[in-house]
Amino acid sequence: MVNPVFKHKKSKYYHYQFNIANKRYFGSTKETNYRKALDYVKKLKDTIETPTKIINFKKKVHPLTFEQAVINKLKFNGTALDEQYEDLHERLIHSTWNEKCRYLPLAKFFQIKTGRRGSKIKIADIDLTLLADYPAWRRKQPKIRGRQITNEKIKDSSINREFQWLKMIMNFACKTKKIAIEMDTYKWKELQLQEHQSEKNILTYEEEIRLFKQFDNYHNKHFKNPFKLLLLTGQRIGMVLNLQIENVDMESRKIYFYNTKAKRTHELPMNDEICDLMKESIGGRTTGYVFLYMGKPFKNATNAFKNALRNAGITKRLRLHDLRHTCGTRLSANGVPIQVIQKILDHTDIKTTQQYARTSNPEVENALKTLTKQ
């Protein structure tokens, strides 16, 4: 217990100081004797009316809703929210974020199931029993590309991505102690749908020539080398665009990519074509990003890739990531062992690499010809 009386150096009297019910009392006891000063303070405390009940005015804590959980995660990721709209539903509708493709269908489903605004459902009320009906309902919904309703069906892979996104939101809420639920009890694998293994979209050699011709003009020339490196090494777009000059060793002919997905550095040797590409991109610089656009680091290369595809007359629905698939497919077709392909593409699990090991139709035809009579 803190001593309520004390003595100043410049005073002959003892002073007091104490708190009762969050109110501070202080002053002089007019006593020079320590015992008498304590008696004075004791009598003073007896004269002060102490409240029989101290009310705790703590802010009422409301259960975390689906909407608030999403907002918390977006803010943590640094995603800017348009303050023009109060409701997250409106904010996402007027945005181009990938989150709206996950959030809006789930919010609509929760609204149908609960009979109230889906965004207001409590996170703790979302369980596997509720989510079990989601795939059947989702498959009946029209697929929207941009703002256009298409006749395409919702794929099981899309539903799986939506479940994974919801799992991420709920995990974040648990880690930040916003909800007290046991995530271990959620058997997410029971919700996982069997995805149809469709053929990967790859770039043919003829299409490659047409595509890269589009980068010969002045405005698009900055994109040629990073896209070429994507095709030659099979790395992820983020790893290529964020490549630093310090991570390119021209003497040992090696590139050190940082794998942001696996949080590790990936070493890759350079052939003559990649060496020439690096020399052209780096020039006389010694630090900074390898690839620059108008003297600055790349922010987004997707639009330039789509424009080049359109101008080249390539109607396939190709993404930048499909250049990585093209590299893996070509390596497999050239007879490169699956373990070597895994090393080049830096896959953690070889099962991911095995998708490139599927035999092509010409290989099947040649195999069947061996069974015919000579």
Of 57-61, 133-137, 329-333, least confident by mean pLDDT is 57-61
pLDDT grade, residue 362 (50/70/90)?
low
pLDDT recorded at residue 366: 62
Residues 6+ apart with CB under 8 A from 14: 5, 6, 7, 28, 29, 31, 32, 33, 34, 37
Per the domain annotation, does 229 fall within a domain? Answer: yes
Under 8 Å between Cβ of 312 and 210: yes
What average pLDDT score do residues 316-324 get? Answer: 89
Same domain for 9 and 108: no
pLDDT digits (tens, 9 = 90+) for 184-237: 566 777 888 877 655 568 899 999 999 999 988 767 788 999 999 999 999 999
Q: Is 312 exposed, middle or buried (0-12, 13-18, 19+ CB in 10 A)?
A: middle
Per the domain annotation, does 56 fall within a domain? Answer: no
Average pLDDT, the chain: 81
pLDDT digits (tens, 9 = 90+) for 283-316: 989 999 999 988 888 877 888 899 999 999 998 8
Position with higher pLDDT, 283 vs 10 = 283
Domain boundary among 141, 160, 190: 190
Same domain for 28 and 167: no
Same domain for 109 and 16: no
Same domain for 209 and 140: no
Per the domain annotation, does 87 fall within a domain? Answer: yes
Per the domain annotation, does 60 fall within a domain? Answer: no
Position with higher pLDDT, 31 vs 180 = 31
Same domain for 80 and 37: no
Same domain for 360 and 224: yes
Dihedral of CA atoms 113, 116, 118, 123 in degrees, nearest 10, equals -80
pLDDT at position 276 over 80? yes
Same domain for 215 and 339: yes
Domains held by the chain: number = 3
Residue-range definition of the domain harbouring residue 226 = 205-365
Per the domain annotation, does 303 fall within a domain? Answer: yes
Same domain for 153 and 110: yes
Same domain for 172 and 129: yes
Position with higher pLDDT, 285 vs 317 = 285
pLDDT at position 252 over 90? yes
pLDDT digits (tens, 9 = 90+) for 36-80: 888 888 888 888 755 544 434 344 445 788 888 888 887 777 666
Is the whole-model pTM more than 0.75? no
> Does an H or E element contain 259, and which?
strand 254-259
pLDDT digits (tens, 9 = 90+) for 73-110: 877 776 666 555 556 655 555 554 566 678 888 988 99
Residue 253: phi and psi, rounded to 5, are 55, 55
Same domain for 116 and 218: no
pLDDT at position 11 over 90? no
Per the domain annotation, does 373 fall within a domain? Answer: no
Per the domain annotation, does 57 fall within a domain? Answer: no
- Type of residue numbered 116: R
Domain boundary among 142, 162, 190: 190
pLDDT at position 171 over 60? yes
pLDDT recorded at residue 53: 42
Residues 6+ apart with CB under 8 A from 352: 342
Position with higher pLDDT, 160 vs 189 = 160
- Type of residue numbered 254: K
Same domain for 211 and 182: no
Same domain for 19 and 89: no
Q: What angle do CA 342, 276, 206 make, to 5 degrees?
A: 65
pLDDT at position 175 over 70? yes
